[in-house]
Chains A and B, each alone.
Chain A
């Protein structure tokens, strides 16, 4: 018979024993190890995911900070640019003001120098002109300048109208009169001048005092405390100075328009 029932029962018992032993020594430890490994891997996976989330949050925070820094940089840059522009504008204005001030100073100094130059030039020119006229008169007309000056002054006095004569006579009345000339007059010239003053009724017996005044260029001045009557070449010199100033002004304005 192929079936031995004792063997069947024994094999069932053997199988159950083997089932218990393998469960105890094989399946349980192996499955436990696999589960532990799975848990470990899951824990690592969870940790990695948590780290990934943390890293994403950190990256987001970093990007936000970067954007904030960028915005701050832009703001600072624009602020610096505005400050630089304001400072530049201020510096330019300050430089322009300083330049205008310097130009004003320069113009003032130039005007002052020009005035002094013209004054000196006028004095020098007047002196030279007087010397030239004196020499010309001496060489050509065989007469001196003072005599011609007195003669010209006499002609001026004779040319006054009645109203002017009365006004001058009234002003000179009862006061001593001083006659100033640029150079000493000869006695003939003094006498001729006194004669003319009396003929024209400008003076009526007042005392006449002659004196030399170098500032008076080629002229004669009658003065007392109340009135001053004079004729000299200074009027001509002043007209000449005016002409020179006008010519200089025209030249300056032409130079400026050419530069612009």
Chain B
């Protein structure tokens, strides 16, 4: 039994290879893009002409927007594409696992690491977009420049933890189902498969919320310091 779909290789030419992770990722992407395009092809504005599919998609999008807003305490619109895509990709990848013959690409550490790296890159990008280069990079050397290595290690460890948490959960669920299937071949694996669906969606939610929290905490921490400094300057000016 393969622990990760990376090891299922369909084609390889030197460094380039076509493994199950990439194939199932494309399947996931196709499903998502096809459904999105199909639902949004005829969108209705009037509340009395909305289709059930549009209702469902609007519920998902607005739920994600509300969750992002709650987690970030900011306007959710700039973060929705990134965080929403993380959630939908991981959730869909975990859901398609119930189809026989398909595996979740999230069960690959390469995939979760790739997603964690995306978060790792997105955190400074959103911070710089919000605060500017200087003010964002300043927090790496605070309270003293001595803290720079520790701050960098913190960022890296957070990214690695994010990747391994998702990989471990998804992989362990798949592995657990496989083991149970070999021990108790009837009935119980079905229950565990359903449980795996729930765990997969929860993991997608946790990953997306953690990513949002990382992005928002970086922005908010620097923003709080800036606001406090502005308030101090203002009070001194009044005095």
User: 1/0 per residue B11-55: CB within 8 Å of A?
Assistant: 000011101011001100100110011011001111100000010
Q: Do A11 and B109 contact each other (CB < 8 Å), given the known contacts A22-B33, A26-B61?
A: no
- Asked if B94 is at the interface (CB within 8 A of a chain A CB), the reply is no
Contact B36 A11 (CB under 8 A): no
Q: In whole angstroms, how far apart are the Cα atoms of A112 and B117 in the complex?
A: 141
Q: Do A25 and B33 contact each other (CB < 8 Å), given the known contacts A4-B6, A11-B21?
A: yes
> Contact size class for B?
35 or more
Interface residue SS majority, chain B: helix
Q: Which of A30-38, A46-54, A132-140, A144-152 contacts B (4 or more CB under 8 A)?
A: A30-38
Total contacts A to B, CB within 8 angstroms?
121
Contact A12 B29 (CB under 8 A): no
User: 1/0 per residue A9-47: CB within 8 Å of B?
Assistant: 111101111110111011101110110110010000000
Q: Which residues of B contact A7 (CB under 8 A)?
A: 6, 17, 19, 21-22, 108, 110-111, 114
- Asked if A236 is at the interface (CB within 8 A of a chain B CB), the reply is no
Interface residue SS majority, chain A: helix
Q: Do A33 and B22 contact each other (CB < 8 Å), given the known contacts A3-B109, A22-B33?
A: no
Contact A27 B118 (CB under 8 A): no
Q: How many residues of A contact B (CB 8 A)?
A: 31
CB-contact partner of A22 in B32, B58, B111, B114, under 8 A: B32
Contact B88 A22 (CB under 8 A): yes
Contact B45 A22 (CB under 8 A): no
Contact B114 A11 (CB under 8 A): yes
Q: Which residues of A contact B46 (CB under 8 A)?
A: 37, 40
Q: Nearest A residue to B167 by beta-carbon distance?
A: A2
Q: In whole angstroms, how far apart are the Cα atoms of A2 and B19 in the complex?
A: 13
Q: Which residues of A contact B6 (CB under 8 A)?
A: 2, 4, 7
- Asked if B191 is at the interface (CB within 8 A of a chain A CB), the reply is no
Q: In whole angstroms, how far apart are the Cα atoms of A37 and B61 in the complex?
A: 15
A140 CB, min distance to chain B CBs, angstroms: 137
Contact A37 B85 (CB under 8 A): no
Q: Nearest B residue to A15 by beta-carbon distance?
A: B118
Q: Which residues of B contact A6 (CB under 8 A)?
A: 15-17
CB-contact partner of A25 in B25, B40, B111, under 8 A: B40
Q: In whole angstroms, how far apart are the Cα atoms of A17 and B22 in the complex?
A: 13
User: What are 8 A-B contacts defined by CB distance under 8 Å?
Assistant: A4-B21, A4-B110, A8-B113, A11-B115, A17-B29, A18-B85, A23-B81, A25-B40
Other than A21-B33, A29-B43, give 17 A-B pairs with Cβ distance below 8 A.
A5-B110, A7-B6, A7-B108, A7-B110, A8-B113, A11-B21, A18-B33, A19-B82, A21-B36, A22-B32, A26-B39, A26-B61, A27-B80, A27-B81, A30-B58, A31-B65, A40-B46
> 3 tightest CB-CB pairs across the interface, nearest first?
A11-B114, A7-B110, A26-B36
